Amino acid sequence: MTLANGREFVLIPGPSILPDRVLNAMHRAAMDIYAGPMLGVTDDCQHGLKRIFGTDGDTYIYASNGHGTWEASLTNLFSKGEKILVLESGRFATGWGEMATMLGLDVEVLACDWHSAIDLDRLEERLRNDREQAISAILAVQVDTASGVVNDIGALRKATDAAGHGALLMIDAVASLATMPFDFDGWGVDVAVSGSQKGLMSPAGLGFVAVSARAKDKHRQAGLRTPYWDWTARDGKVHYQKYCGTPPEQLLFGLQEALKMIFEEGLPSVFRRHEAIADATRAAIAAWEAAGATFNIREPASRSNSVSVFCFEDDLATRIIDYCKVNCGVTLGGGLGQLVDQTIRIGHMGHVNPPTILGCLGSIDMALASMGKQLPQTGVGAASMALGRYAAETSHAQAQA
């Protein structure tokens, strides 16, 4: 007997839930790629992405996932043997670094445990010791979906400035873009990469790269450039060149609609919603501490608003994930890398509202109840109280305004 038959909830940290509006916007026949509506869609998408990245600089849209944008950014900027510094804070910056090693770069990892944000003092010290400025670039992640950490990107640039170092700052915003602020120009970021299937609530298959003027200058000398990823080739006047071939038509219409939804809601409201939903999730995790749950990220201020990662002893996490899938139709993320087996990851990015998250958290309560765990307060109870308080504060603020 299962209760799972009903709408399925996929709350892994990407791909995220697809809004019906996005699905419907994609439902169209093949169209001309040289003229007509297709051209306007590219302009709309690039304009919207610039707003969300916070840049007036160039942005590129690839028919690729997030990994493609890693390769795009590396090949466009570097030559074999160049040195880069990877700031570990989970799985993803190091994954980007592994790709750089395969491409022939000299990669140094500033190692960190998977329970905290990047150590800014250590970064500054490492850069001060790089007297010849051999390090060309720094790679870091804004939100790491394996550990659940959020890094302060503006502070990374301040640390490089404090060390008097001119390295390019390259940021993976795949799991964070459109869930929290990104200020590419204001923070002094040189390259930011992202993808369509997380905060941007679109199908997987589109990759985005924002590029500073400084990075664009360096690009001209890069030895690793390849035809498909090349920025200069994609700067060509003809629309076809922007995709190095046929544009991923339907995906772009989906993204255009998602961006429209985001701007209708307003970016500040989108960020507040993510914060409220994440706070509610954290309230639930705190309630599950009575059943042995622990937050993976120790410092509360370093827990991200797009994914929550928490751990249980023994095989409890795996049993909860299985229970939710089979009995509730709720798909949760399991642990990655060194956190495999003991970890649950809940993706709360994109098209997520209170019933979505409460349904997910309530399913975990069901799983715990089925295993005989007694809790003073349920996770869903704690989360609904948190959301209720949030809604009351918001409407109070609106009444005052």
Residue 91 C-beta: closest distance to ligand PLP, Å: 8
What is d(CA 247, CA 260) in angstroms, rounded to the nearest whole number? 20
Question: Can you point out the beta strands (E) in 166-245?
Answer: 168-172, 191-195, 206-211
Residues 6+ apart with CB under 8 A from 391: none
What is each CA distance from 97 to 74, 81, 88, 141, 145, in whole angstroms?
A: 10, 13, 9, 11, 16
Q: Hey, what are 80's tokens?
A: 């074999």
Residue 90 C-beta: closest distance to ligand PLP, Å: 8
Whichever of 211 and 382 has its CB closer to ligand PLP, that residue is 211
Residue 362 C-beta: closest distance to ligand PLP, Å: 26
Whichever of 124 and 144 has its CB closer to ligand PLP, that residue is 144
Q: Hey, what are 113's tokens?
A: 């445990």
Q: How many CA atoms lie within 13 A of 170 on its CB side?
A: 30
Residue 65 C-beta: closest distance to ligand PLP, Å: 3
Among 62, 92, 114, 243, binds ligand PLP (CB under 6 A): 92
175 binds ligand PLP (CB under 6 A): yes
71 binds ligand PLP (CB under 6 A): no
Residue nearest to ligand PLP (CB): 66
Q: Hey, what are 315's tokens?
A: 């095989």
Judge whether 169 and 160 are in contact, CB under 8 Å: yes
φ/ψ bin of 378: left (φ > 0), alpha (ψ from -120 to 50), beta (otherwise): beta
258 binds ligand PLP (CB under 6 A): no
Rg (CA), the chain: 22
Q: Name which of residues 14 to 43 contact ligand PLP (CB under 6 A).
A: 14
Q: Hey, what are 246's tokens?
A: 């046929």
145 binds ligand PLP (CB under 6 A): yes
Among 55, 65, 256, 363, binds ligand PLP (CB under 6 A): 65
What is each CA distance from 400 to 198, 394, 396, in whole angstroms?
A: 34, 10, 6
Burial label, 44 (beta-carbon count in 10 A; 0-12, 13-18, 19+)? middle
**CA 109 from chain center: how many Å?**
21
Among 195, 199, 347, 362, binds ligand PLP (CB under 6 A): 195
SS3 206: strand
141 binds ligand PLP (CB under 6 A): yes
> DSSP assignment, residue 36?
T
Residue 152 C-beta: closest distance to ligand PLP, Å: 16
Whichever of 24 and 101 has its CB closer to ligand PLP, that residue is 101
Residue 204 C-beta: closest distance to ligand PLP, Å: 6
144 binds ligand PLP (CB under 6 A): yes
Question: Given the rule CB under 6 A, which of 17-25, 141-149, 288-296, 383-391 is the region that contacts ligand PLP?
Answer: 141-149
66 binds ligand PLP (CB under 6 A): yes
Residue 242 C-beta: closest distance to ligand PLP, Å: 20
> DSSP assignment, residue 274?
H
Residue 246 C-beta: closest distance to ligand PLP, Å: 20
Residue type, 216: K
Residue 190 C-beta: closest distance to ligand PLP, Å: 17
Whichever of 200 and 293 has its CB closer to ligand PLP, that residue is 200
What residues make contact with ligand PLP under the rule CB under 6 A? Answer: 14, 65-67, 92, 141, 144-145, 172, 174-175, 195, 204
